[in-house]
Amino acid sequence: MAQKVQLSTKNSTPIPGSDILIESLLRHDVDTVFAYPGGCAIPMHQSLTRYRGQVRVILPRHEQGGGFAAQGYARATGKVGVCMTTSGPGATNAVTAIADAKLDSIPTLFITGQVGTGVIGTDAFQETPIVEVCRSITKQHYLVTDVNDIAQVMNEAFYVASSGRPGPVLVDLPKNVQNDLAVPNFDSPVELPGYSFDGLSASDEEITALADMIDAAERPIFYVGGGIVSSEASESLRELVKKANVPVTTTLMALGVIAANDPLWLGMPGMHGSVYANEAVHNCDLIITLGARFDDRVTGALSTFAPHAKIAHIEIDRSEVNKVRKADLAIVADVGDVISRLCKKVKKAKIDDWHKQIADWKKSDPLTYDKNYPDILAQHAVETLSKLTQKFDPILTTGVGQHQMWAAQFFEHQAPRRHLTSGGLGTMGFGLPAAMGAKAACPEKLVLCIEGDGSILMNMQEMATCFCEEIPIKVLLLNNQHLGMVMQWEDRFYQMNRAHTYLGPVHHPEWAGDGDGKSPATRYPDFVGIARGFGWGGKSIFSKNELEGAIQEMIESKGSYLLDVQVPYQEHVLPMIPAGTSIAEMIKE
């Protein structure tokens, strides 16, 4: 067994590049790495064994699962999540997780082994130019060809990944560089010309102008995005919202920054947002945009988005300002700093008529579902899970699809970093490994995952990781035998023509989308059987009277557990504003 070694000092004797790499991780407070070995990553993994006890290595069963687990870790904590792979297919398997982290601004570090420098460019075994592959989906990227550069590169990588608008950084490390010896300088300064946040603090004049805009508005709203989470500004935001008495709508990435029971919260805007959030956006005269980017799923047809509103946009990433919607007041600065200073200036808005109008919208068009439906609807399952777990302050992850939207609508999110989902890229298979990463980061927390039967199959192999690494998570599987969101579009826009969205067995055509969906013989695959095969607990339920008891059993189980909830495929996520249209085309039923 490899013996644990102590961290080197500045004047140490030469050590391998792989040891420099691992010591750099430790010096940046990394305690967990999601790492899958391979030929060009062997030296890194050998080094990890020498530092056993100082860093936990979790072996995912697929590199994409490792990448999403690193994201789950990062999203739950705000720390940089770390994923390591080998070269070639190991690296390319992580590409989707890298792209996902880029679009959602998640601080992550992806370290890939690479073939030796002497054969780079010769199509060597398991060679891919991963830096070139990922150039447009990383915040920064490095191919390290000199062992003396490793410590400097790692310092830069952590700084870039976690500063400003966070994002993924890729470090590609050839095998011979991992083996080369050097005396590291772990204290080398970060010098990145052109990458600086000096001077990005808002001026007093900008803060005053923003406060004046709010004071002059008759129908203002706050439009809040994931930048609030990145800047750890949720508490300041809550203080600002309360003091200003201004309604607030939060994007999918910001759920929880305002408690779901706050009377000023409007829910999500956009395609599957609440009617009243969309009505407020459409009819407001001022949008104060805090750490959000006017995503197309929020704006719909840009020509009809908030047609009566002035726009104040507070954003740390200069490239986002005026990119989609021109701002009347643009402040390029840390949103947390702006909110704290605005709190001291803003007055309580006298907008009683606006509040009354919003209350009327909430009353006339609440988020709801058919509560008299005889069996289990997905919305009811999510709502029940929320009710039974609120006392635990749980972390919730989701896959992508209808279940993701129902989780956003009907699970009551009360705090930031409790709702972890793939927003910008919308990656199926995100939920299970992200839950695994979140639980590894927060072992004291109840970690829940709401999944769909299509999405969970994308990374189901991580059930083995959860069992072997003793990472207990709880999965509520909403099983409708279909790729639900695509099927919903088929129903609404393609004359209900099924184009490969039915997931059941093709040798039972009588059940392919027009049966009652209740016969166990038609439910394929056997998710509970698969879960038990991976060492999990599991149960499948059909009827309403089983739901609460089954959820309670799942919560109380000691290990990982999958609750397979059979739900009808005919149900749609509503309301819905079709892509590229306006609130005038909103579908409510």
Residues 314-327 have pLDDT tens digits of: 999 999 999 999 99
- Position 6 scores a pLDDT of 60
The mean pLDDT value of the chain amounts to 94
> For the segment 13-56, what is each residue's pLDDT rounded down to a tens digit?
899 999 999 999 999 999 999 999 999 999 999 999 999 999 99
Residue 409 buriedness (CB in 10 A; 0-12 / 13-18 / 19+)? buried
**Cα distance between residue 231 and residue 117, in whole Å:** 39
Active-site hit among 213, 460, 485, 576? 485
Active-site hit among 23, 34, 44, 63? 63
Answer yes or no: 63 catalytic. yes
Answer yes or no: 197 catalytic. no
Cα atoms found within 13 Å of the Cα of residue 306, Cβ hemisphere only: 27
- Position 199 scores a pLDDT of 76
Determine the average pLDDT of the residues in 128-139.
98
Q: How confident is the model at residue 505 (pLDDT cuts 50, 70, 90)?
A: confident
Active-site hit among 46, 126, 140, 357? 126
User: Cα–Cα distances in Å, from 435 out to 30, 66, 115, 441?
Assistant: 19, 11, 32, 10
Active-site hit among 4, 125, 356, 585? 125
Answer yes or no: 534 catalytic. no
Is residue 521 pLDDT above 90, yes or no?
no
Is residue 528 pLDDT above 80, yes or no?
yes
> For the segment 336-361, what is each residue's pLDDT rounded down to a tens digit?
999 999 999 999 999 999 999 999 99
Contact (CB, 8 A) for 426 and 435? no
Answer yes or no: 404 catalytic. no
- Position 236 scores a pLDDT of 97
Is residue 489 pLDDT above 60, yes or no?
yes
> For the segment 219-252, what is each residue's pLDDT rounded down to a tens digit?
999 999 999 999 999 999 999 999 999 999 999 9
- Position 504 scores a pLDDT of 83
Determine the average pLDDT of the residues in 395-418.
98
- Position 524 scores a pLDDT of 76
- Position 78 scores a pLDDT of 98
Q: Which of 229-238, 515-524, 533-542 has the lowest mean pLDDT?
A: 515-524
> For the segment 200-218, what is each residue's pLDDT rounded down to a tens digit?
899 999 999 999 999 999 9
Answer yes or no: 362 catalytic. no
- Position 196 scores a pLDDT of 86
Residue 1 buriedness (CB in 10 A; 0-12 / 13-18 / 19+)? exposed
Is residue 518 pLDDT above 60, yes or no?
no
Is residue 2 pLDDT above 50, yes or no?
no
Is residue 542 pLDDT above 90, yes or no?
yes
Residue 358 is encoded by which pair of tokens?
Answer: 């919003």
**Domains along the sequence of the chain with CATH:** 15-182 (3.40.50.970), 204-364 (3.40.50.1220), 378-566 (3.40.50.970)
Residue 374 is encoded by which pair of tokens?
Answer: 């005889």
**Cα distance between residue 229 and residue 272, in whole Å:** 21
Whether omega for the bond prior to residue 60 falls within 30 degrees of 0, making it cis, is: no
Active-site hit among 139, 175, 362, 439? 175
